[in-house]
Amino acid sequence: MFNKLICLAEAISQYTGKCVAWLTLMMMLLTCLIVLLRYGFGIGSIALQESVLYFHALVFMLGAAYTFKEDEHVRVDVFYRDFSETKKAWVNLIGGLFFLLPFTLYTAYLSLDYVGASWRVFETSQEPGGLPFVYLLKTLIPLMMVSLIIQGMADILKNLGVITAARSAQRT
């Protein structure tokens, strides 16, 4: 049962991460277009410039769970790298239960009013000619937290499995 939940959560993170990775290519092409238009033709566009920021936010916020799944997140691992798999599982379990989940749950909770206020007025850019989708951009905050909660739960279950397997091996 837990393996199916872990696989489902990781499949969601994997799929989202792979899709979001393509946005980096689009962001790079769009940046090149902005530079070409600006310096080649003297044409500037606030909407195009803001769209690069939107792509960057999408990549960062929706790619966070994938980065966590792939164990590529920032970690100070002076001691961690030399730990056994069981000790690493304990560190990951404690970190998930006492740091990741409380932070993501609290941030998701706090973001609801912030995002809701933006949706109520369909918040737009303050710049003339900017994008009228600030409310969608702000929606990425709780989406990021939900994706990290899902991946965090999968990681917690996976580490519980490592610890349980190690204890079972010691008994035999």
pLDDT(167) > 90: no
Q: What pLDDT, in 10s, does the model give residues 108-117?
A: 999 999 999 9
Taking the whole predicted model, whether its pTM rises above 0.95 is answered as no
pLDDT, position 146: 96
Q: Whole-number mean pLDDT of the chain?
A: 93
Q: What pLDDT, in 10s, does the model give residues 60-99?
A: 999 999 999 998 887 777 888 889 999 999 999 999 999 9
Q: What pLDDT, in 10s, does the model give residues 23-52?
A: 999 999 999 999 999 999 999 999 999 999
Three-state SS string over the chain comes to CHHHHHHHHHHHHHHHHHHHHHHHHHHHHHHHHHHHHHHHHCCCCHHHHHHHHHHHHHHHHHHHHHHHHCCCCCCCCCCHHHCCHHHHHHHHHHHHHHHHHHHHHHHHHHHHHHHHHHHHCCCCCCCCCCCCCHHHHHHHHHHHHHHHHHHHHHHHHHHHHHHHHHHHHHHC
pLDDT, position 170: 82
